Structure 1
Amino acid sequence: MRIILILTLALGGAAPAAAQPGRQTPADPAANRDAREKRDQPAPRAPAGIHHRIVSNPDDTYRVQLPRAVLNRSITIANVGADPVVNPRLIANGRRNWFSTADILAGIVTPGMSDRDKALAIWRFLVDNRYHDAPAHQDIEMHDPVRFLNVYGYGFCDDSATNFMVLAGQAGLKARVWGLSGHVVPEAWFEGGWRMLDPDGKIYYLEDDGHAIAGVKTLEQRPDLIHKYPSPYYTNAEKLIAIYCSADDNKLAEGYRKRSEAVHTMAFTLRPGESLTRHHDNWGVYFTSHSSAREPRNTAREHFGNGTFAFAPVFENDIFRKGADSVSNLRAERAGDTWVLASDHGEGSLVYRFASPYPYLDGWVKIAGHGRVALAFSETGDTWSEIWTSVPGAKVDTTVRLGGYFRTRTGRPTYAYRLKLTLDGQV
C-alpha cells in the first residue's frame, strides 16, 4: 500500500477562525451553470509549500508539522500504489476526528463525566461547531451528526436540537425534542429532571439556586429567567418569552426521533490511481433541496468548500481490475509508451462503483482512443442511462459531463453511483 499526501499551503497571515476542511460542497446543474462557467475547475492559489509522503504500512500514521500562521488551501490524498487504500483519515492538531458518531463523542465526553457534564459538553460542542443557516434538507439528511458536522455544518434550530438528542442518546442520556411553535429545542434528563440546553440559541437558563438548569416546563412559567440570561443569538427576549410561555402550543416533537439516525461515516476507498482533494475554497456548487434554497453563507467564519475525487485507472499489470464491479472481455495492452484498455474480439465492458462520504455534485469523464465507446450511468446498478456514445469509426477524444445525473436540488443527494464503459476498440 502506497499513498501520497499533498498539502497546498499559503504561509503568512492568520487562518479563518472556524474554517473546516472538507465541509460540504453545500445543486441542479442548471442552477449552478453560471457559477461553473466562471469557476469550472478549482483554481487554488499558488502554494508556498507542498508536502509529499509515501506511506507503505497499512496502519501508518504520518504527521506534518506546519509553521504557525498557515492557511490551508487544499489537501490531497492520492493512492499511488497497487492496492486499494481503505478509510484514510485526516486529523488536524489531534482534534476533529469526526469519522463516525462514536468518534465525535470520543472527542466530547470523557470517562467519569457526570450526566450533567456530558450534556453541557455536547451543547458546547454544537454551539462551537455549527452555525444557523437554512439547511440543505428538511428531513433526516441533516439529522445525523456525521453528515450535519462533516458535510454541512449549518442548519436551523430543529437540526441542532435533533443532533443534540442523537449525540446525547449515543452518550447514554435520555433526550428529547420540543416544538415551541416558532423554535425547536432539546432537553436531556439529568439531576432528577428534564433540562433544556439550546445549541442554536447558544443558551441555557439557570434556576434560582444558580445551579439547576431549567427545563421547558419551568420556562413556561418563568419569563424572568429568559430576561435574566439573554440569548447571544436570539436577542429579542420578548419574542423568546412569547414562544416559551405560550404553553398551549408547546409540544413534544417525537417525529424528530423517527427522522434522525447515527449511521453515516466518512468511509471511502481510494483505488490505485484515485485521489481525493479537499479545497478550503469553493467554486459555487452545492446541494440543497430545502424550500428556502440558496447558496450557503461564504464568509471567513461561516464557510463551505468543494472537493474532487479523481480516478485514472492503472492499466499496467491489470491493476485496473482492483476495485472494479465487473470487467468483461477487456484486456490491458501497451501502446507505445503507455498502457491502454482494449476489447478482446468484440465488445467488452468495465463497471466501477463510486462512493463518497460527501455528496456528488458534478463530474467529468475524459475518454480518448478509437473504436466504438459508450458510457452509461446508474445509481443502483439495476437500470442504466446511456450518457454518451461515440461516432462509429471516429477517433475519440472528449470529456463527458455527468452533472445532470446527480440530485442537487431535489430529495436527498447522491452519495454513490456506477459508471459503465462499453468498448469495441481501444481507449
Structure 2
Amino acid sequence: MAIAALLLILLAGAITMYNTRSQIYENIMASEFRPILGADKIEFQKNIKQLRQILSEGCELNHTQIEINQLSNQVNAIKFGLVYDMNEAKKELMQLYIKTNQELKQCYGSPRSNNKLNITLKLDLKNNSAKIDLRNQSLINDFVEIKNIGKNSIEPKIIINQNDYSSMNSIKDTIINGNLSDHEKALNIWEFVVAHRYHYANPVKAYYELSPLNALNDWGYHNCGNAARMIIALAQTANMQAREVRLLGHIVSEVYYDDKWHMFDADGEVIYYLDGQVASVDEISDHLYLIDQTESQIYSNEYLKRAYSKKVTVIYPNLRSETHSYKLGLGESILLKSHNDGYYFASENYSMPPKFSNAYFKYQKYILSDQIVELEYPYPFVCGNIVGSDEIYFSRNGWIWYRIPDNDFTDLLNNGGGRPDTKIYLKFKKPGIYKIMTCVQLSSYSIPILEPNSINSINFVDEFSGENASVSVTFGLIDSS
C-alpha cells in the first residue's frame, strides 16, 4: 500500500509539472491518494475564513469557534501526506457549516409565514390533469408533496404549465416550439440556461463529470464550463452543431447556423452582436470593443477582454442522452420545498449556496430481521434519519457497514469532498415498522411549483407502473405580502 501510494505521488508530481489535462492526470487528481498540495491547504483555510465571517454576523456560538480553531490547527500541522488524510477534517468543516446555518436560523427565527392554503389533487392516468387559478391572489407556492396512493411502484412526473425537465428532449420541446429560425432556437436555449442557473462555485470538483441534466435538476449553480455544456447539450438535441471553446480563464459555447459560428455565454449572461448577428469567438477576439457595448453582470469587461485574447482549446463534445427520474414505492412520498433547510453538499467551496432547495423522501414499511433496504434517487443525499429500533447499519457500497448513531445517518453520508451519495444501503437487525426519511438537495429552478398570478395547468405522467398509477399531490401556499 505504501509503495503504491508513493508511486502515485511521484506520478502525480511528474504529470503536474507538465501541466497536462490528460485522463491519467485527471484520474490521479480525483483520487484520495494524491499528495496534499499547497492549494488544498489554502482552499481549506479560505473556507475556515468564510465560516468565521458567518459567525461574526451575530449570535454567540463560542463552541463553534473552538471547533474551527481545532480544525485549522489540525490541517496546518500536516507536513506531508495524502489528500485522504485531510478528508475527515474537510467533512468536519462541512458539517460545521451545516450546523452553523441551522443554529443561525434558530437564532434569527424563520422569516417564512405559516401556510395559508393547501390544495390537494388526486390524479391517475385516466384523470391526469387539473388547473389551479392563482390570479388576483397574493399567494406563492411554498412546497409540493407527491404521494403514491396506487397499488404499484411509480416513476411520477408532475408537469406544471408544460415545463418538463426530465430529459433534454422534454426541455427542448418546452423551449423550442413553432416554426423558429435557427437563430431563434439558439437564443431560446441561451435564455433558458441563463434563467435556470446562476454563477457559483462548482458543487463537485472539476475532475468529476457533471452532466447537463444533473446540473439543471440537482444543483442550479455551477461554473462557466457546465453552463456551456448545458447549451451544447440542448443545441445538439435540437439537431444543431455546437462546440465548447476554452478561452483564457473562461469557457463559452458556440452554435453553428447561417453558415457560421455564434458565441453564447450563459455563465457570463452575455452575447455580442456584430453587424446585426450574434458574433463568434473569433469575431469578438478581433473586435474587443464589442465587450464594452454589452456589460456582463458576472465578469468585468477587463476580465473578458483578457479571456478573449487567446482561444486555448476547441472541443466538440458528444453529450449523452439521459433521463432524470425517481421511483416512489407503495405509500412513499416526496416533499419538495421551494426553499431549503440548510442541508447541502459541497466539495470545494463549503459556504452555503445563495439559492437551492431541499426535498424529503418519506418511506414507511414493515421490515424483516437482517433485511437490507436499498435507497437510490437521482439527487444528492444530504441528511437522513429513521424512526424505529436503534440497531440499524449504514453502507455506501453494500459490504462495509457502520452502525447508525441515534438513528440519524446524516454524518455518515459523504460530504465535504468527492462525490455526493445518490445510493445507500440500510440494514435492520430487528423486525418492525420503520419510518425512513431521506433528505436530498435539488435545484430550486426545476421543482414543479405553481406560478403566482396565473392559471396553472397540472399534468401527471407515469411510464413505469402501468394502469394502476395514482398520486395525491398537495400544493402548500403562503402569503407573499
TM-score after normalising by structure 1: 0.71
AA of the residue aligned to 1:374: E
Match of 1:274 in 2: 332
Query: 1:36, CA displacement in angstroms?
Result: 4.0
Structure 1 unaligned blocks of 5 or more: 1-26, 298-302, 321-329, 331-347, 390-398
Partner of 2:285: 220
**Cα-to-partner distance string for 1:292-329 (whole Å, 9 max, x where unaligned):** 332101xxxxx22211111111x4xxxx7xxxxxxxxx
Q: Measured at CA, do residues 105 and 64 of structure 1 come closer, stay the same or move farther in structure 2, by a change above 3 Å?
A: same
Q: 1:62 to 1:378 in 2, by over 3 A?
A: farther
Does the alignment pair 1:283 with 2:341? yes
Give the partner amino acid of 1:379: R
Q: Distance in 2 between matches of 1:426 and 1:306?
A: 26
Give 1:119's aligned residue. Answer: 186
- Alignment equivalent of 1:74, drawn from 114, 129, 143: 143
The match for 1:310 is: 362
Q: Is the 8 A contact 2:388 2:433 kept in 1?
A: no
Distance between the aligned counterparts of 1:187 and 1:196, measured in 2? 4
Pick the aligned partner of 1:295 from 346, 349, 352.
Answer: 352
Aligned mate of 1:422, from 429, 448, 460? 429
Structure 2 counterpart SS, 1:124? helix
Distance 1:413 1:289 in 2: 9
Which residue matches 2:380?
359
Cα distance in 1 between the residues matched to 2:298 and 2:380: 31
Corresponding position of 2:396:
379
Which secondary structure does the structure 1 equivalent of 2:128 belong to?
Answer: coil
Query: Could you list the runs of 5+ residues in structure 2 that have no partner in the other structure?
Result: 1-90, 435-481
Match of 1:53 in 2: 121
Q: Of residues 408, 413, 417 in structure 2, which corresponds to 1:406?
A: 413
Question: Does residue 257 of the first structure (1) align with residue 317 of the second (2)?
Answer: yes
How many Å apart are 1:350 and its aligned residue?
2.0
Q: What CA distance in whole angstroms lies between the structure 2 residues aligned with 1:204 and 1:424? A: 61
Change (3 A) 1:205 1:52: closer
- Residue of structure 2 aligned with 1:98, choices 165, 170, 183: 165
Which residue in the other structure is 2:199 paired with? 132
Identity of aligned residues (%): 25
* Alpha-carbon distance in structure 2 between the residues aligned to 1:155 and 1:423: 43
Which protein has the bigger strand share?
1
Q: Could you tell me how far apart the structure 1 residues matched to 2:338 and 2:433 are? A: 38
Higher helix share: 2
State the one-letter code of the partner of 2:244: V
Q: After the TM superposition, which residues 92-241 of structure 1 pair with which residues of structure 2 at under 5 Å, given as runs?
A: 92=160, 94-110=161-177, 112-139=179-206, 143-208=210-275, 210=276, 212-227=277-292, 229-234=293-298, 236-241=300-305
SS in 2 for 1:32: helix
Whole-Å Cα distance in 2 between the matches of residues 295 and 166 of structure 1? 28
Aligned equivalents of 1:223 and 1:35: distance in 2? 43
Query: How many residue pairs align between the two structures?
Result: 338
Q: Does the 8 A contact of 1:143 with 1:162 survive in 2?
A: no
CA deviation after TM superposition for structure 1 residue 90, in Å: 2.4
Q: Which has the higher contact order (CA 8 A, sep 6+)?
A: 2
- Please give the alpha-carbon distance, in whole angstroms, between the structure 1 residues aligned to 2:363 and 2:247: 49
Q: Is the 8 A contact 1:134 1:293 kept in 2?
A: no
* Structure 1 residue identity aligned to 2:294: P
- 1:354 touches 1:418 (CA, 8 Å); kept in 2? yes
Cα distance in 1 for partners of 2:165, 2:122 equals 24
Give the AA of the match of 1:202.
E
CA-CA distance at 1:195 after TM superposition: 1.2
Question: What is the alpha-carbon distance in structure 2 between the residues aligned to residue 386 and residue 59 of structure 1?
Answer: 45
- Secondary structure at the counterpart of residue 287 of structure 1: coil
Residues 67-119 of structure 1, C-alpha deviation per residue, up to 9 Å, x if partnerless?
533121211112244432x2222233x14311112111111122543322221
**Partner residue of 2:371?**
350
> C-alpha separation between the residues in 2 aligned to 1:200 and 1:140?
19
Would the alpha carbon gap of residues 201 and 152 (structure 1) be closer, same or farther in structure 2, given more than 3 Å must change?
A: same
Distance in 2 of aligned mates of 1:280 and 1:184 = 30
